[in-house]
Amino acid sequence: MNGVHLPGRNLKSQLLAAQVREAIASRAYPPGGRLPTEQEMAAANAVSLTTVRRAMQILAAEGLVVRRQGSGTYVAEQAPPAARHPAGTAVGVVVPETTMYFPRVLEGIEKALTGAGVRLMLACSRYDVDEDERAVADLLRAGVAGLLLAPALIERADPAAYLARLERADVPVVLVERGLDPSSPADASEYVRTDHEAGGYQAVAHLAGLGHRRLGLVLRGGSPTSKPVESGFLRASADLGVEVVDQIPVPRTGWQPGQADPALRALVGGGATGVVCLGDREATMLVSAARRAGVGVPERLAVVAYDDDIADLADVPLTAVSPPTYPRGRRAAELLLRRLAEPDLPRHQVRLRPSIVVRDSCGARKVRG
């Protein structure tokens, strides 16, 4: 079981409980089997004993495990009834991952829910459509009062049909950082998401404001963020008189070591003086490639990362478009809580504008075009 290390004691215990719950469901821990000791779980997941104990309390309350004094913790011999869950209101949360992009989103969700006395039940889909469906079905069977979902949409043949199905759920659903094309009138879902088109526009405007007139775009494929960032980048380039030198695709899995080097050669060879790079991992690798090639950043090539998870760890700390992760999670949870209290509330579709965090990778000097 892979460890997840996140700030916030309650969130850590929820994430650990979700991992153990998944292991029980997959029979990695069979019915009646003994779980690893609390000390072993703490060491394997880089968390405290207190976090492990809280996670076990959550699972014991759900009837999934039995704690035996002096003996250890065991998987329940028989799964609890489908409708059985701890007393009090619970909200189900499904995210595709619990590393990199979503931890701060989850912190915002947890803050809003726990502040209202509502319990969070967390599942992770790993960008898998089938896992997505199972997680939602399991949470509904567990009796959650509402759902906060970041579903796999671009992986589906008909995302609109899936959102229409969610609209027919017996509980309110708020999407987090997901939806159809923002301009689509077919999207009736309730959501809180980042305006990534505005973020792509801001990145170009920042570079243009420093005098850059020949820009490249490095874009990770297979991401719901890619299309709106590209749209904002191209719109800003047209509005601001910026020439697009090259658009370099990156596989969904990201670059492997050394793959940033030919991208750097294409950008520099094409005369680009600046580049916008989705995401910040790829931007970090591009800066490393520049260092190996003797290309100065920002003296020869200015770099703006899109996402701000590890941008400050690059060889040259990266100026980054920073989506509002924590506020987005909190706002989505607050919207769902309000929906639970006011079922007739008008439908909300909220887009939050990202900000730019200025670091060293662009410099402050004007660049002659």
What does the pLDDT average to over 91-97? 94
Q: Give me the residues paired with residue 22 across strands.
A: none
**pTM score:** 0.74
Give 242-293 pLDDT, tens digit per residue: 999 999 999 988 898 889 999 999 999 999 999 999 999 999 999 999 999 9
Two structure tokens written together for 286: 């591009």
pLDDT per position as a tens digit, 192-227 = 999 999 999 999 999 999 999 999 999 998 888 999
> Could you tell me the fold of the domain covering 1-80?
Arc Repressor Mutant, subunit A (1.10.10)
- 151-177: average pLDDT: 91
> How is 278-289 classified by DSSP, letter by letter?
ESHHHHHHHHHH
> DSSP letters along 213-230, please?
-EEEEEEESS-TTHHHHH
pLDDT bin (cut points 50, 70, 90) of residue 10 is low
Mean of per-residue pLDDT scores for the chain: 88
pLDDT at 366: 41
| Count of CB atoms situated within 10 Å of the CB of 293 | 14
Q: Is the pLDDT of residue 57 over 50?
A: yes
Q: Give the closest residue to 99 by CA, choosing from 309, 333, 285.
A: 309
Domain extents for the chain? 1-80, 196-323
Q: What is the pLDDT of residue 45?
A: 86
Q: Which residues partner with 124 through β-bridges?
A: 95
Over residues 282-309, the mean pLDDT reads 96
CATH superfamily, region 196-323:
Response regulator (3.40.50.2300)
Q: Span 231-249, mean pLDDT?
A: 97
